[in-house]
Chain A
Amino acid sequence: MRLLVVGLSHRTAPIELRETVDFARGGLDVALKSLAGRGICQEAVVLSTCNRAEVYAVADTAADADSLGLFFSEYHQLDHRETAAHLYTRIGGDAALHLFRVAAGLDSLVVGEPQILGQVKAAYTTASDLQFTGPLLNRLFHSSFATGKRVRTETGLGEGAVSVSYAAIALAKKIFGKLSGLGVLILGAGEMAQLTATHLRAQQVRQITIASRTLASAERLAGELGATAAPWTAVDDVLGTADIVVTATGATEPVLTRARVDEVMRTRPHRPLFIIDIAVPRDVEPAVGDLEQVFLYNVDDLQTIVKENLARRSGELARAEAIVTEEVTRFVSWMQSREVIPTVVALRQRFEAIRQSELLRLEPKLAGLPPEARARVDEVTRLIVEKLLLTPTEQLKAVSDESTIAAYAEALNRLFRLAAEEQQRTTSAAAPASKAPRS
C-alpha cells in the first residue's frame, strides 16, 4: 500500500496545459469514476483548481504512479509524451508533505492565499461522498485540513491583503467594522470604477451611488451593477451621506478639494469618511486627509500596503514550513505504524490458534474438571499468550522506518510461518475490491 500523488501545477506546467488538464470542468465525480474504472488504486481524491490538477491515490506499488500519469493524458486526450514532462510524482511521506504544503497555501501562486484550503476540502468531500476514500486518505486529508488551519491561525502567512482592491476593503473593515449598511459613492464610470464597485458590492454594502460628469455613462454602469446613478451636481449631497468614497475620474485637476470636503464634513460631524483615490492623476487634494474623521488613501498608499504585506508573508514562511514539517512527521509515523498492523494481527492469530489447538488436545483430560476450573485454565492460557505478545507488539509499533518494519515483518513471517496465513487473510479481504492482483 503506497500513498501517491501525481499532478501538475503552476510550478511545472504552462497556463495552456493547466487550462486543458481540468478535471473540474467535466465534474470531479466523472473523473473519479473513470479513474476507478482503470483499477489502478484503492483510494483516490482528485484536486482540480485553476492552478493545479492532482490525483492523490493509494495503490499497491510506487510504479502505479506511471499509470496515474497516463490517466492524466488519456482522460484529457493529450499526447502523453508532452504531458509527462510536466507531471510530478510524490510518494509516501513526500506525498503527505506535498498535500500539507498545498493545503497551507505554501504551494500557491500567491503564497498564503486562503481559497486553496476550501478547494482541498471540496475535493476530498466529493471523493469521500462517492466512497473513493479509505482509512489512509481520510486520515491524510483531515490532517491536511488541520495543518492548513494551524498555519492560518498560528502564523501571519495569510494575513494582509495582497491586492490593491482587497487592501482597500480590509482598511474599510478596520474603520467601519462590517461594511453591510454602509453607503458608497463612486466618482467616475471607467474600468477602475467598475472594478472597485464590483468588489464593494460583493461586501453587501447598503447602497452604491455612481456619479460621473456624463450622466449617461454613470447610468450605464449603475445599470450593470444594480447601483444608483447621480448627476455630477448632486455629488455634495451624496457625499454627506456616504461612508466610503472611491474616486476614479479622468480629471486632470483635483475633484475633491480640502475646502469642498471640509464643507461637506460640517454637515456630518463625527462620522468617519473613507476616501479611496485610485485615479492617476489624483482626484483628491492630499490636504483632505488632514481633516478629522477623514481617512484618505491613494493608489500609491494602497500599493505600499500590499508590498509590506507581501514582505511580511514571506517572513512568516519559515514558521509555516515548521508547522507543516511537524504535522507531516506525525502523519508519517501514523502511516508507518499502520504498516506493521497486518504482521501484528497475523502473529496474534497464530498464537491464538496454537492455544486453541492445545486446549482441544487436552480436552479429554480437562473434561473431568468442574466448570470454574476449566474457565480458569482458559483464562490462564489466554493471559500467558497476551503477556508473551505484549513486548513484541509494542516494539513493532515503535519502529518508525520503513526498511526496519519490512525486515521485522520478514523475520516474524519466517520464524512463526505467518506468511501462509497472512496471504490467505489478505486475499479474502481483498476479494470485494474490483482490483486485479499485482505482484
Chain B
Amino acid sequence: MALVPLVLYTAAAIVYGLHFARRAPRTGRVATAVLSAGVLAHTFLIGMQTMEAGHAPLVGTTSAISAFVWLLALAYLYTELTTDERAMGMLVAVLLAVLDIIPAFNPTVVPRPEVLRSPLFTIHVASLLFAYASFALACVLGVTYVLLFKEIKAKHLGFFYARLPSLQVLDAMNGRVLTIGWLFLTFGLVVGGVWATQVRTSPDPRAQAMSVADPKILVALVSWGVYSFALYARRAIGWTGRRTAWLSAIAFAIVLLNFLPVGYFLTKSHNFNF
C-alpha cells in the first residue's frame, strides 16, 4: 500500500514531463488527474497510519518526509488550480517521487515516545513541514526563473521560452510562496521553542539535547535567517528576479540538508527515528 503513492507520483512526473515537452492540453489534464490520484492514495495511507498508531504519523524523519511530500503535492495542486499553470508540475512531481522513495520502502510508523505527547509537537511539525513545502515550490519557481532569464538574456529563445510563464509571473509567485513559507517557518520554530522549554524536565535524553548547539536546531535557525533575509531583500531593498531566485534555491538546499542528512545522522535532539 505504501508503494501506491510512489508509483502514482512517478507516473505523474512522467506525464507532466510529456506535457512539458509536447504541451497537449489533454496530457496536462491527465497529469493533474494522476497527481491527484497520488495525493488521494497518500491521504488514505496517512489516514490508515493515523488510525493504526492512534496519532498523526509525524514521529521520525521518515514519517516527516512522507507528510512533507503529501503537503507539497497538495500545495502544488492548489497553485496549479488557482493559476492554471502546469509548467512547474514536472519539477515538483520529480521532487515528490524522489523524496517518497524513502517512506515508500520503509512505511512502519515509529511509536510515539512519551515526550512527544503534546499538541504543540504536532503543530510544530505540521507548520514546519508546510513551510518546507512552500520553500520547495519557491525553489522550483526560482530554478525555472533562472532558466528563462538566461534564455532571454542570451537571446536563445527556445525550450523554456515557449513553455514557462513570464519572468514577472514567476517572480511574483516566488514572492508569494516565500512569504507564506516564512510565516509558517517562524510560527513552527516559536512553537518548537515553547514546547522544548516545557519538556526540559523530561528524562528523555533527546529533550535534554534541545539546544541551539544541536545541528538540527542550528541549521533550522540558519535557514530562518536566510529566508528572513530573502524576504527583507525583496521588500526593503527591492531585490527581484535572479537574486531572489538563486536565494530561494540555495535556501531550500539548506532545508533539504537539515531534513535528510542532519535529520537521520547528526541530530541528537530530533532523533526519533527508532
Contacts and interface: CB of A to CB of B under 8 A. Distances in A.
A160 B168 CA distance: 20
Interface stretch (A119-127, A269-277, A378-386, A426-434): A269-277
A295 B166 contact: no
A177 B238 contact: no
Interface stretch (B149-157, B205-213, B252-260, B265-273): B149-157
A177 B166 contact: yes
Interface in B36-80: none
Contacts, number: 53
A176 B165 CA distance: 10
Contacts of B161: 174
Contact of A156 (B148, B162, B168): B162
B241 A159 contact: no
Interface centre among A156, A174, A301, by most B CB within 10 Å? A174
Chain B interface size band reads 20 to 34
Nearest to A292: B242
Chain B binding site: helix, strand, loop or mixed by DSSP?
Answer: helix
Looking at A173, A289, A293, which has the most chain B CB atoms within 10 Å of its CB? Answer: A293
Interface string B225-253: 00000000000011111110000000000
Given A171-B152, A270-B241, A272-B241, A308 B166 contact: no
Contacts of A173: 166
A293 B152 CA distance: 11
A305 interface: yes
Nearest to B153: A295
Contacts of A292: 242
Given A153-B25, A270-B238, A301 B167 contact: no
B167 A272 contact: yes
Nearest to A268: B238
Given A154-B24, A156-B162, A160-B162, A174 B240 contact: no
Contacts of B24: 153-154
B261 to A, nearest CB: 34
B33 interface: no
A20 interface: no
A329 interface: no
Interface string B157-182: 10001100111110000000000000
A23 B135 CA distance: 60
A293 B241 contact: yes
Interface in A323-352: none
Contacts of B169: 177
Interface string A399-414: 0000000000000000
Interface string B86-98: 0000000000000
Interface of B: 23-25, 148, 152-153, 155, 157, 161-162, 165-169, 237-243
Rank and list the top 5 A-B pairs by shortest CB-CB distance, nearest first: A177-B168, A177-B166, A270-B240, A270-B238, A177-B169
